[in-house]
Structure 1
Amino acid sequence: MATRRGFIAGLLAAGGVPALSWADAGTPAFLAAAMEANGAYALFGLKEDGTLAFRLPLPDRGHAAAAHPTRPEVAFFARRPGQYALVLDCVTGAVLRELEAPTGQHFYGHGAFFQDGELLATTENIVETGQGVVGLWSRSEGYRRIGSFSSGGVGPHELIRLSEDRLAIANGGIRTHPGSGRAKLNLETMRPNLTLMNASGHILGQVEPDRALHRNSLRHIAALPDGAVACAFQWQGDVYETPALLAIVRDGVLQFADHDALLWTEMQGYAGSIAIGRSGPILTGPRGGVLARFDQAQRPIATERRPDVCGIAARAGQVLVTDGLGHVFRAGHGELEHLEAHPVAWDNHVVALT
């Protein structure tokens, strides 16, 4: 079986002429990773109609990706606790750079480009202390690591760009250690938070759930048009409790969605991803097989059942949804519109190209 380093060396040798834009990669609108029928992994470019723009082989299962805003380059992150990320040329398939977490740290599966694509920010963990870190990588210097700063909490997961010099970080509050696999080591004392930062790592704002909800781990986030941040949670407490899994942070205040015991019970305490539709936030719940739509006031307005539905992303008014059975949907105002079915098992996340 090929090793990861051998796989990467082969792609590096493939080389190719650098591409200029996403048009050279088939003009994809979204990116998503998947496991193919033969057990191999690949990254796919998806067009707005759910058809494929490109396919790139991957050495292992990943988690999420960060797409450069103009160049057909993507940073693809290993599933936590991961030691590497790959920067891929989506035209040639070449590996432009393998990013390795510093000694004693690991990646947490997410990242984002900001400052017009010049900088890549990655969420990371310091193994011995459990403190979260945001790593900074310079694209113009061949994705050289140029620094890092605290994420403002423990267990940073998704990180998004709010503007060219502002980031939002979902600190899940859960401490992990590579030696313990994916075990959660501090559920009794965990403290999730949303941290807003500038490009220098200065904290601009920070909010966390009330103490009674300290086991509601903040995992995924999405920016609203007015600059607020919608938050998706994964409950780590008693399975018989049904806290809301959606909140919005606006003007420094965290406000949870209305309590809907039936909905949160159906989602089994687990929101897999989040996007912003025309009416408001949309949550996916793969464990319960639920897609839930909310209005701007976070009131539930519609739910749909779809086994293993998880991937979701919004772009230019279109919301694309994927499930673990290979299906691709469009989430409009009505029921999910089926677009395509591919012979793959889509992974957890879809990334929109902006």
Structure 2
Amino acid sequence: MTNRRHFIAGMLASGLVPAPTWADAGGPAYLAAAGLRDGSFVLCGIDAALEVVFEIPLPGRGHAAAAHPSKPQAVAFARRPGNFALVIDCMSGRVKATLHAPEGRHFYGHGAFSADGSLLYTTENDYANGIGRIGVWDVALGYVRVDEFASGGVGPHDIKRLPGGDTLVVANGGIDTHPDSGRAKLNIPTMRPNLTYINDRRILEQIELPYDMHRNSIRHLAVGSDGRVAFGMQWQGDGDAPALVGLHQQGETPLLLDGAEDMHGYIGSIALSDDGSEIAVTSPRAGLVQVFDAATASYTRSIALTDVCGVAAAPEDFVVTSGTGIVQRLSGRLNPEKPLMWDNHLVRL
């Protein structure tokens, strides 16, 4: 007699049972890596009510995650410089595959899926040659590495896909590092960060900041439904930091936004509101969230929150996380701290 597991597998294969979706994994609205009080690490799913719906163990500190566009699968990346990324079935909590950076490479903690979910793209450091690469992994083959191409610069950190196609935007931070030197920055005097748009391995467009801002490392990205890209930076120079937030549309000149509060030269995460009208950025060093009006490029308000870093859009609002265990809507009352030390990023599904 056919057992239940084989029966269900046969039904799935025949298409008579719908393929699992994110709703089958508890309906998370966000993913975030966190540390536990006992020193272990997890990847969490957080629902729209900001309750944790699952915790899946990680072998080390996480940074960000990439969520598959349809399957309840997430790729959890190690904190830079890391050599592993785990593909996790968020229904069962099982690790489906482990991605290892090729010899002479390390991951930068971010990735993005193609529009149809068939490919995963990862930002990587070719540290022997001091250049950035984008790894390509085939999902149907079990996340097998099948290709790679140039990132268009040095130190590619974040990567996002623009809506309506498979054009990628890469934040080439400009900073050269090598595992032998830990997290030391090896080329600060000569760094040249850029924002690079790539489609089918071909660079479509690159933007650089004015030379007097060449030490402003472009690190994190948010993409609006209209293809606008908001980017957050981290100042590597001396003295007061220049503008740390930018907004760019392909074919146009980037717009830089100045905040009224000192962010200590460091933007940890960035998000665009659902309607594209506002940009929110965080600085764990300053313990601040700043919000800008995207239409006028003007600062509107700030909120103090200790060790805040993760930020993502929510309906008519933003959600933020902190290393103290806070997860809350920006406009809401302070929620009780959870026994979780949230890491850098909050990824919206």
TM-score, scaled relative to structure 2: 0.91
Q: What is the rounded CA distance, in whole Å, between the counterparts of 1:337 and 1:273 in structure 2?
A: 21
Deviations 1:71-107, CA, capped at 9 Å, x for gaps: 1100111111111111010111111110011111111
Cα deviation for residue 350 of structure 1 reads 0.5
1:338 Cα deviation from its structure 2 partner: 3.3
User: In structure 1, what is the equivalent of residue 177 of structure 2?
Assistant: 176
Paired residues for 1:1-354 under 5 Å: 20-163=20-163, 164-198=165-199, 200-238=200-238, 240-260=239-259, 262-263=260-261, 266-277=262-273, 278=275, 279-296=277-294, 297-331=296-330, 335-339=331-335, 341-353=337-349
Amino acid paired to 2:307: D
Q: Following TM superposition, by how much is the alpha carbon of 1:336 offset from its aligned partner in structure 2, in angstroms?
A: 4.3
Return the offset for 1:53: 1.1
Q: Is the 8 A contact 1:50 1:339 kept in 2?
A: no
Q: Distance in 2 between matches of 1:336 and 1:287?
A: 22
Task: Classify the secondary structure of the residue corresponding to 2:190.
Answer: coil
| Cα offsets for 1:139-194 (capped at 9, x unmatched) | 11111111010000000000001033111100000000011000000000000000
Q: Structure 2: 5+ residue runs without aligned partners?
A: 1-7, 13-18
Q: 1:30 to 1:340 in 2, by over 3 A?
A: farther
Distance 1:255 1:165, change over 3 A: closer
Shift of 1:337: 3.7
Percent of aligned pairs sharing the same letter? 49
Contact 1:29 1:315 in 2 (8 A): no
> Does the CA contact (< 8 Å) of 1:329 and 1:340 recur in 2?
no
Amino acid at match of 1:212: D
1:253 aligned counterpart, secondary structure: coil
Describe the shift of the 1:342–1:249 C-alpha distance in structure 2 as closer, same or farther (beyond 3 A). same
Q: How many angstroms apart in 1 are the aligned matches of 2:31 and 2:172?
A: 24
What is the CA distance between 1:26 and its match in structure 2?
0.4
Query: What is the distance in 2 between the residues matched to 1:306 and 1:54?
Result: 25
Shift of 1:241: 1.8
Change (3 A) 1:28 1:339: farther
TM-score normalised by L of structure 1: 0.90
Amino acid at match of 1:233: M
Deviation at 1:46, TM superposition (A): 0.2
Contact 1:208 1:254 in 2 (8 A): no
How far residue 319 of structure 1 moved from its aligned partner, in angstroms, is: 2.2
Pairwise CA distance, 1:318: 4.5
Secondary structure in 2 aligned to 1:20? coil
Counterpart code for 1:351: V
Residues of 2 paired with 1:187 and 1:91: CA distance?
44
Give unmatched runs, 5+ long, in structure 1: 1-15
DSSP 3-state at the match of 2:23: helix
CA distance in 2, matches of 1:63, 1:254: 31
Contact 1:228 1:249 in 2 (8 A): yes
Change (3 A) 1:102 1:217: same
Alignment check: 8 A CA contact 2:258 2:299 kept: no
| Equivalent AA in structure 2 for residue 274 of structure 1 | I
Partner SS, residue 162 of structure 2: strand
CA deviations 1:97-128 (Å, max 9, x no partner) are 10011111111110011131111000001011
Deviation at 1:20, TM superposition (A): 0.9
Give SS of 1:23's match.
helix
When the two structures are aligned, how many residues end up with a matched partner? Answer: 330
Mean CA deviation greater in 318-327 or 123-132 = 318-327
> Which SS does the other structure have where 2:117 is aligned?
coil
RMSD: 1.7
Match in the other structure for 1:13: none
State the distance in 2 between where 1:316 and 1:96 align. Answer: 32
Please give the alpha-carbon distance, in whole angstroms, between the structure 1 residues aligned to 2:253 and 2:96.
Answer: 40
